[in-house]
């Protein structure tokens, strides 16, 4: 840059600084005191500085000069305003005009445009001059000086272009910098003036409020002590300033507010908050409570609180007034709530309804929700009732009715139905009589409606009940009766009303009955029970009567209500049901249930009187044969006759009962000795043994009786029945048609039998059985072609158990079916094995119990399948049955024996001659072998009758096409007699005892092979 330009311009910029220093030298209070004069003076000063600047310019050529007047004038216009700028422009303009030259008008234009741009910029940014930014100053400077350069185009181009080329860079570089520097100095001065003005304003406001304001103000330290308080605070707390300055604010704070204030105060001291507000109570000097709204702020330095200032607005009067209003409102709410009334207030013009909390409770919703939706209540009214409600409201609004009053049903949000009494009245109308406001109440009358309906229902029940009802006064005079009373008693209402209840007394109950009943009514106020009555026509009937007393407010009898129903049919039905439940329908004797009740009562009586009684258990012998041969109808006649005979054998005080089937019991009470018991037992046996004429048939039976004594044999009902049953079975085992006393050995046998059953079940599971085989020998040749499979049980602890001991138990328990199935399978497999391994066809006889025939089920089919599987024919297995089985037609013996025949299995009739031998049965069934019982062969060589009988059996069997097997052959003499008689086979110890399968094969099969 050319130093000839730079140095003059720098000198001009230095002169500009004098403006700032001269401005600061003038006292501020004089500026404000002589404002117009001060502004004229500033204009003259700036004009003088401008002349001084212009007197040291940089001269391009005579008449064309450059200086910093543009900077001075634009800054003057920006910071000092129009009057000082106008004075400065005039002075500098006159001076430039006096200089003259070719660029005089350019200079005058620069002076005027610079001042004008500054003044206009000030008008737009006057309030921001203290904070004007550097960017804005540079923008302002460039605008002013670009305009200044544009003025040079007033000169001829040959002059203007070189001048601009020479001066443009310095002007656009130095002039904006000088403008920015001068503006920053002046804006700082403006900033200080603004802060001072604000401080003065704040100080004025604080002092005016502190001394005469309506707010209590206090300045305190961090130690909570008051450092300065204003008069208003002293007035509020009724303490002098000196008294307060010797106290802390904590001392005067209400105890309930101290903690909340301390918490916020500590947060402010810790720097977590800068200020806080709260409602706070003080205790004044006269102990009155001052309510204030407190605002607290603090003064900090280096993050430490120096001072705390608090303002207190006295809200005591407002708070107390609000409390009174709230109390009044609460009292009103309390009155409304205690009256259980819902209240509604309808602004008709704006269609807005306000309802109270009770209304919301009735509807079952929130009060805010209810008031937010003015239609919710109306929409909840039951649809059928809503038109009537709307019509009632509209009629009252039109002035047709004095008030709106309506009962209707409301469906609550809980879906309950409530009855509402809605009343309302218009309380405000306009000049045209249009309704403006209507108020009313809701009353929940649900309970009253229910009571009303209950009363109506009670009246209906009273008039239409099938139960007789009557109301009496306290003396027993009949006041009213219902229709059922007339129907049951036969007396009309007119006949009975006004009469004393004694009119209905009946001699069927006895005089003492009514005395006791009336005494209980007087003492307890109520009575109920059965009573026998007579109708008007003298017909007897039974009622169930209930009498209750209604007392007056003093607790004295006022009315008595009598209710009764005719239970004659019920009593008869109950008696019939009781009889059916406790008596046997066939014989009319007490049944098991009645017997158990009687035994219980008899045990108590025996204990009380220290005497004995006997229990007899009777079972009819051969009753099953009567049922099977003559039919169940004849069997029922026999049981009826038996019951009659038993009753004739005992005293009236004794009890005969039927337990079921052909089992009866007799209880002989208060027996002195055994002779009386035995006399009755023998009488019973004789009577039972007498012939029974059943239609055209005559039947003969007997009885087996077991006798047990109380308390000698047992002290419980269960024990007595069990022991009597055991004694009865002992009588049967001894030959029937006799009686037997219970003995302890029977109980021991019963226990033994129970253990045997348990062991037998375990034996079935553990397969503890084994088959032994006894040969059946051909009498003529001595050849062994047949054998009988005999079951043997070797108990792990008891050792060998006789079949005679466990087979009957197995039959009684049904285990014989499973055991017999196992025996048949083992025998069949053994026969097949001997045939396969030894080449010998041995027919094995297997005993089959009658129980197996009864419970056989699918076993027959399984047996036949097994034989087919093993390829065992009739020469391999033979089934042995007893004579008694042939008599039982119910077991389907015929069909099953035919099935055996069709399968090629032979059948042997065991123990022939000991049972009900019948040639008809032998002809009917397909029997292959007859086995003569060993009781006949035992003495055949010495007893001619046995010999003759055996010969007859053999001849008869051969005539019927059967082979004969003699059991129990033990001597050669017996064998010879049988051989001479033509017996086909012999079996007994003479030939061999029963042996194991291996031993049987070794003795009778291998050597023969």
* Residue 173 confidence (pLDDT) above 70: yes
Cα–Cα dist 789/774, whole Å: 7
pLDDT-derived band at 18, boundaries 50, 70, 90:
low
pLDDT at residue 12, as a whole number: 54
pLDDT-derived band at 205, boundaries 50, 70, 90:
very low
Q: How far is CA 721 from CA 442, 472, 590, 618, 913, in A?
A: 77, 57, 15, 11, 38
CB 844 within 8 A of CB 825: no
Q: What is the mean pLDDT of residues 358-372?
A: 86
* Residue 742 confidence (pLDDT) above 90: no
CB 412 within 8 A of CB 362: yes
Residue 966 phi, psi dihedral angles, 5° rounding: -100, 125
* Residue 191 confidence (pLDDT) above 70: no
Report residue 40 as tokens.
């004229």
Among all chains, which residue has been given the structure tokens 């809503």? 386
pLDDT-derived band at 212, boundaries 50, 70, 90:
low
* Residue 92 confidence (pLDDT) above 60: yes
* Residue 915 confidence (pLDDT) above 80: no
Q: What is the mean pLDDT of residues 70-99?
A: 84
Share of the chain above pLDDT 90, in %: 18
Check residue 857 and give left, alpha or beta (phi > 0: left; psi -120 to 50: alpha).
left
Share of the chain above pLDDT 70, in %: 86
DSSP-derived secondary structure letter, 503: G
Q: What is the mean pLDDT of residues 154-163?
A: 83
Report which of 238, 198, 235 is spatially closest to residue 217, judged by C-alpha positions: 235
Residue that wins the pLDDT comparison between 94 and 57: 94
Report which of 690, 689, 703 is spatially closest to residue 619, judged by C-alpha positions: 703
pLDDT at residue 66, as a whole number: 73
**Secondary structure of 590-619 in HEC code, one letter for each residue:** ECHHHHHHHHHHHHHHHHHHCCCEEEEEEE
Highest mean pLDDT among 217-221, 683-687, 764-768: 683-687
pLDDT tens for 319-347 read 887 777 666 556 555 555 555 788 888 98
pLDDT tens for 481-498 read 888 888 888 888 888 888
- What is the torsion angle, in degrees rounded to the nearest 10, for the CA atoms of residue 133, residue 136, residue 141 and residue 142? 140
Q: How many CA atoms lie within 13 A of 365 on its CB side?
A: 19
Q: Which residues contact 845 (CB under 8 A, 6 or more apart)?
A: 776, 786, 787, 788, 789, 877, 878, 879, 880, 908
Q: Which residues contact 821 (CB under 8 A, 6 or more apart)?
A: 859, 862, 863
Task: Compute the C-alpha angle 353/354/359, nearest 5°.
Answer: 110
pLDDT at residue 640, as a whole number: 93
Q: What is the mean pLDDT of residues 42-68?
A: 77
CB 897 within 8 A of CB 848: no
Q: Which residues contact 399 (CB under 8 A, 6 or more apart)?
A: 433
pLDDT tens for 368-404 read 888 888 788 988 899 999 999 999 999 999 989 999 9
pLDDT tens for 29-45 read 445 556 678 788 888 88
pLDDT at residue 772, as a whole number: 94
* Residue 21 confidence (pLDDT) above 90: no
Q: What is the mean pLDDT of residues 981-1006?
A: 91
* Residue 1 confidence (pLDDT) above 50: no
pLDDT tens for 563-579 read 888 888 887 777 777 77
pLDDT-derived band at 204, boundaries 50, 70, 90:
very low
Among all chains, which residue has been given the structure tokens 């079949």? 803
Q: What is the mean pLDDT of residues 856-870?
A: 74
pLDDT at residue 189, as a whole number: 63
pLDDT-derived band at 788, boundaries 50, 70, 90:
very high
**Helix-, strand-, coil-residue percentages of the chain, each rounded to 5:** 55, 25, 20
pLDDT-derived band at 1008, boundaries 50, 70, 90:
very low
Cα–Cα dist 53/66, whole Å: 10
CB 791 within 8 A of CB 823: yes
pLDDT at residue 225, as a whole number: 87
Any idea which of 54-68, 466-480, 965-979 has the lowest mean pLDDT? 54-68
Residue 678 phi, psi dihedral angles, 5° rounding: -70, -35
Cα–Cα dist 613/724, whole Å: 13
* Residue 664 confidence (pLDDT) above 90: yes
Q: What is the mean pLDDT of residues 281-285?
A: 91
Round the average pLDDT of the chain to a whole number and report it.
82
Q: What is the mean pLDDT of residues 803-832?
A: 84
Residue that wins the pLDDT comparison between 464 and 424: 424
Report which of 107, 2, 119, 121 is spatially closest to residue 50, judged by C-alpha positions: 107
pLDDT-derived band at 668, boundaries 50, 70, 90:
very high
Cα–Cα dist 473/453, whole Å: 26
């Amino acid at each position: 840059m050319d130093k000839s330009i730079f140095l003059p311009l720098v000198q001009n910029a230095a002169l500009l600084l004098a403006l700032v220093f001269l401005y600061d030298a003038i006292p501020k209070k004089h500026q404000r005191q002589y404002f117009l004069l001060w502004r004229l003076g500033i204009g003259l000063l700036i004009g003088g500085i401008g002349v001084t600047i212009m007197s040291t310019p940089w001269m391009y050529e005579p008449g064309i000069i450059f200086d910093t007047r543009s900077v001075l004038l634009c800054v003057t216009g920006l910071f000092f305003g129009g009057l000082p700028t106008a004075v400065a422009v005039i002075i500098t303009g006159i001076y430039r005009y006096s200089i003259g030259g070719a660029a005089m008008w350019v200079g005058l234009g620069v002076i005027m445009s610079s001042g004008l741009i500054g003044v206009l910029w000030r008008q737009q940014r006057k309030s921001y001059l203290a904070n004007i930014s550097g960017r804005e100053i540079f923008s302002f400077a460039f605008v002013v000086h670009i305009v200044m350069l544009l003025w040079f185009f007033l000169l001829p181009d040959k002059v203007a272009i070189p001048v601009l080329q020479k001066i443009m860079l310095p002007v656009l570089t130095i002039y904006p910098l000088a403008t920015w520097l001068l503006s920053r100095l002046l804006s700082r001065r403006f900033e200080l003036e603004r802060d001072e003005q604000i401080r003065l304003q704040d100080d004025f406001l604080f002092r005016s409020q502190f001394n005469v304001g309506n707010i209590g103000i206090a300045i305190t330290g961090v130690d909570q002590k008051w450092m300065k308080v204003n008069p208003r605070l002293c007035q509020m707390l009724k303490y002098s300033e000196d008294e307060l300055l010797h106290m802390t604010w904590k001392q005067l704070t209400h105890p309930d507010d101290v903690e909340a204030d301390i918490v916020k105060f500590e947060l402010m001291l810790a720097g977590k908050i800068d200020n806080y507000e709260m409602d706070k109570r003080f205790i004044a000097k006269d102990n009155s409570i001052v309510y204030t709204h407190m605002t607290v702020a603090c003064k900090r330095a280096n993050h430490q609180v120096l001072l705390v200032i608090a303002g207190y607005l006295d809200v005591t009067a407002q708070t107390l007034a609000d409390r009174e209003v709230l109390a009044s409102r609460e009292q009103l709410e309390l009155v409304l709530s205690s009256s259980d009334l819902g209240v509604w207030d309808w602004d008709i013009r704006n269609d807005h309804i306000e309802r109270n909390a009770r209304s919301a409770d009735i509807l079952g919703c929130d009060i805010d929700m209810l008031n937010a939706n003015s239609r919710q209540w109306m929409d909840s009214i039951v649809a059928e009732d809503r038109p009537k409600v709307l019509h009632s409201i509209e009629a009252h609004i039109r002035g047709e009715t004095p008030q709106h009053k309506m009962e209707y049903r409301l469906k609550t949000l809980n879906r309950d139905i409530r009855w509402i009494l809605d009343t309302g009245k218009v309380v405000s109308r306009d000049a045209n009589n249009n309704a403006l406001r209507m108020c009313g109440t809701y009353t929940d009358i649900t309970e009253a409606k229910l009571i009303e309906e209950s009363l109506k229902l009670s009246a209906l029940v009273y008039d239409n009940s099938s139960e007789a009802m009557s109301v009496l006064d306290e003396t027993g005079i009949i006041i009213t009766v219902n229709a059922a009373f007339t129907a049951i008693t036969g007396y009309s209402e007119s006949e009975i009303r006004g009469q004393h209840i004694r009119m209905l007394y009946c001699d069927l109950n006895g005089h003492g009955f009514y005395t006791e009943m009336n005494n209980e009514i007087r003492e307890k106020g109520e009575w109920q029970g059965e009573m026998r009555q007579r109708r008007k026509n003298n017909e007897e009937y039974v009622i169930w009567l209930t009498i209750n007393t209604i007392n007056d407010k003093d607790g004295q009898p006022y009315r008595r209500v009598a209710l009764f129903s005719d239970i004659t049919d019920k009593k008869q039905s109950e008696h019939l049901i009781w009889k059916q439940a406790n008596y046997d329908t066939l014989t009319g004797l007490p049944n098991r249930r009645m017997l158990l009740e009687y035994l219980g009562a008899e045990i108590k009586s025996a204990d009380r009187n220290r005497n004995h009684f006997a229990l007899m258990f009777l079972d009819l012998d051969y009753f099953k044969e009567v049922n099977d041969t003559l039919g169940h109808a004849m069997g029922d006649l026999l049981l009826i006759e038996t019951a009659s005979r038993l009753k004739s054998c005992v005293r009236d005080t004794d009890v005969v009962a039927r337990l079921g089937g052909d089992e009866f019991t007799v209880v002989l009470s208060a027996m002195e000795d055994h002779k009386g018991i035995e006399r009755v037992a023998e009488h019973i046996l004789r009577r039972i043994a007498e012939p029974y004429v059943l239609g055209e048939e005559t039947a003969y039976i007997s009885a087996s009786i077991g006798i047990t004594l109380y308390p000698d044999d047992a002290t419980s009902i269960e024990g007595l029945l069990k022991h009597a049953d055991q004694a009865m079975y002992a009588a049967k085992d001894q030959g029937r048609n006799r009686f037997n006393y219970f003995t302890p050995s029977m109980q021991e046998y019963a226990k033994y039998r129970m253990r045997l059953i348990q062991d037998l079940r375990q034996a079935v599971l553990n397969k503890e059985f084994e088959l032994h085989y006894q040969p059946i020998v051909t009498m003529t040749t001595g050849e062994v072609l047949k054998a009988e499979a005999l079951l043997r049980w070797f108990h792990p602890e008891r050792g060998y158990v006789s079949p005679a001991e466990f087979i009957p138990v197995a039959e009684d328990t049904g285990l014989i079916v499973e055991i017999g199935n196992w025996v048949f399978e083992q025998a069949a497999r053994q026969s097949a094995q001997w045939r396969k391994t030894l080449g010998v066809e041995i027919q094995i006889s297997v005993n089959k119990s009658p129980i197996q025939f009864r419970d056989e089920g699918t076993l027959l089919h399984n047996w036949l399948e097994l034989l087919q599987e093993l390829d065992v024919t009739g020469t391999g297995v033979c089934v042995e049955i007893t004579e008694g089985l042939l008599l039982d037609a119910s077991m389907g013996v015929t069909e099953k024996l035919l099935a055996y025949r069709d399968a090629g299995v032979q059948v042997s009739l065991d123990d022939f001659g000991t049972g009900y031998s019948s040639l008809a049965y032998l002809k009917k069934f397909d029997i292959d072998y007859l086995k003569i019982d060993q009781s006949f062969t035992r003495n055949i060589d010495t007893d001619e009758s046995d010999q003759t009988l055996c010969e007859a059996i053999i001849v008869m069997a051969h005539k019927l096409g059967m082979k004969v097997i003699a059991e129990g052959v033990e001597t050669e003499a017996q064998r010879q007699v049988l051989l001479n008689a033509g017996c086909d086979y012999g079996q007994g110890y003479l030939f061999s005892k029963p042996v194991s399968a291996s031993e049987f094969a070794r003795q009778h099969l291998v050597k023969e092979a």
